[in-house]
Amino acid sequence: MVFQTPIRRANYPAYKSPYGPKYHYQPNIAGWTVKQFAGLGFKAGAFGGVAFFAVIYYASGIPRVKQDILQKIPFIGGYFIKEVPASDNPF
């Protein structure tokens, strides 16, 4: 059986080029970095905002939603107040 002779190296560090990549430790949680969490949070917030306005638009015809939610929004709440004139009131 033939054994290889171990290579003896000098005890000085290997050359590291100043133009090469700068490797450093990047903290993560289960492989997700802070930057990825921030991007995910931004996208989830945007999707949630669009979904919220879609639900409000869809439910804006429901009188309870108009009275409890939409009429209490500053500046545009008056748009959702419907006053029936006395001439149109059957009673």
Dihedral over Cα of 80, 85, 90, 91: its sign: positive
Q: Which amino acid is at 67?
A: Q
The values of phi and psi at residue 51, to 5°, are -65, -40
First to last CA, the chain: 111
Tens digit of each residue's pLDDT (9 = 90 or more) over 67-90: 898 889 899 888 888 888 888 877
For residue 80, how many other CB atoms are within 10 A of its CB? 16
Predicted confidence at residue 83, as pLDDT, reads: 84
Tens digit of each residue's pLDDT (9 = 90 or more) over 18-46: 898 888 888 999 999 999 999 999 999 99
Strand partners, 32: 29
Predicted confidence at residue 2, as pLDDT, reads: 67
